Structure 1
Amino acid sequence: MAGIAVSESDVDVVALLMRQHGDIRNLFDEVERSTGDDRRNAFRRLVRLLAVHETAEEEVIHPFTRTSVTGGEGVVEDRLTEERTAKETLAGLDGTDTDDPKFLSELLTLRTEVMAHARAEERYEFIHIRRTADPERLTSLAGAIKAAEAMAPTRPHPGTESAAKNMTLGPVAALVDRTRDAVRSAMGKDG
């Protein structure tokens, strides 16, 4: 494909997920330092990125880890426990006004949970995926991540931390979430 630049993160699942972890860190920073509508809009983007990112990992990465990485079952169970905790915190925070005095302290709790989870994924899951998968598999997993993200719910849904639950409940949740997002956007309440 002459003339079209393809970044490493477009073809390597580990690079893609690591870039997203960086995007998540940056959005936490943006939410923390902004105010008013800017904070609200940055938080909406953070909620959406966290929701689609985790759903895609649950549908694509964790099943691969379970079957392809030595000790993968335990690695995935630990990550799912972390994900559920963070989703529960995010779900509670999602209903909080970003101008509420408690918002920033609750956001800090979420950030701590999410960043600890990201570090654990990078250390116990991603490094082993890179060692286990050949370049073609890394590329196919990146494509699967992008497809899963395109269909993922845009809000946290604690209790759906498995590929099977995401496949069963995800499409309905995604439809509801994306409809809610469209209504919010049309009303000028979302950026």
Structure 2
Amino acid sequence: MAQRQDARRSGISGDDGDNVVALLMRQHGEIRNLFDEVEAARGDARRDAFRRLVRMLAVHETAEEEVVHPYARRGIEGGEEVVEQRLAEERKAKETLKELEDMDPGDPAFMPRLEALRRDVEEHARAEERYEFVHLVREAEPGRLRTMARAVRAAEATAPTHPHPGTETAAENLALGPLAAVADRARDAVRKVMGKD
């Protein structure tokens, strides 16, 4: 709630689906909701909710790495340092997410690791909102924000569906994105057919 009020005061909330900041803020909310679902669920329902969380995080971060971070590097004061800090946070989260993905959600160690990941992801989201999104709204033309929203949607269509630590730059994601996305989707299909959901 406080986060939403901070966003309103900063002028970065709203229902404009064509605005990249509003789009990404909504996704931050969806990610929080997915964490809630995983924490509340048990058994297969937890596994399914966690799979949706993994996909959402992988796709969301890839889109930010390909669209938002490159603009922030060039377009905001101190952008290089701001982006490097966000990339370090993303790398840490991807590593934890990959560890969790290899665990059984019923493992007693799963929930404490998930809670640690949630804290890191929420801290990362707050940093993005404070150090990148506010500047985007203040400094980017509305047309640029709409173009970036379309670019985020395009990046999401080809983004990997699982975390790939070490691919936190646009170039790495562009090189890995379509290939990893196809490989991820193929692996997901095989797992589904084999009953290894």
TM-score, scaled to structure 1: 0.93
Match of 2:48 among 41, 47, 50: 41
Q: Are residue 60 (structure 1) and residue 67 (structure 2) matched? A: yes
Q: 1:27 aligns with which of 19, 34, 38?
A: 34
Identical positions, percent: 65
Give the counterpart letter for 1:111 in structure 2: R
Amino acid at match of 1:176: A
Q: Distance in 1 between matches of 2:32 and 2:57?
A: 11
CA RMSD, 1 decimal = 1.2
Q: Deviations over 1:38-69 (max 9, x none)?
A: 10000000000000000010000000101111
Moved more, 140-149 or 175-184: 175-184
Question: How many correspondences in the alignment?
Answer: 184
| Distance in 1 between residues matched to 2:153 and 2:106, nearest whole Å | 33
Structure 1 partner of 2:174: 167
* CA deviation vs aligned residue, 1:156-183 (integer Å, no higher than 9, x gap): 0000000011111222211111111222
Give 1:71 deviation, angstroms.
1.0
Q: What is the CA–CA distance in structure 1 between the aligned matches of 2:97 and 2:111, rounded to whole Å?
A: 13
Superimposed CA distance per residue, residues 66-103 of structure 1 (whole angstroms, 9 cap, x where no aligned partner): 11111111110010000000001101111000111111
Which residue does 1:3 correspond to in 2?
A: none
State yes or no: 1:140 paired with 2:142: no
Task: Describe how 1:1-191 pairs up with structure 2 within 5 A.
Answer: 8-190=15-197
The alignment partner of 1:157 has SS state of coil
SS of the equivalent of 2:17 reads: helix
- Residue ranges of structure 2 left out of the alignment (5+ in a row): 1-13
**Structure 1: which 5+ runs fail to align?**
1-6
2: CA distance between counterparts of 1:102 and 1:64? 38
TM-score by length of 2: 0.90
How far apart, CA to CA, are the structure 2 residues paired with 1:130 and 1:186? 45
Amino acid of the residue matched to residue 45 of structure 1?
Answer: R
Contact 1:28–1:111 under 8 Å retained in 2:
yes
CA distance in 2, matches of 1:113, 1:47: 14
Worse-matched range after superposition: 163-172 or 152-161: 163-172
Displacement after TM superposition at 1:18 (Å): 0.3
1:4 corresponds to which residue? none
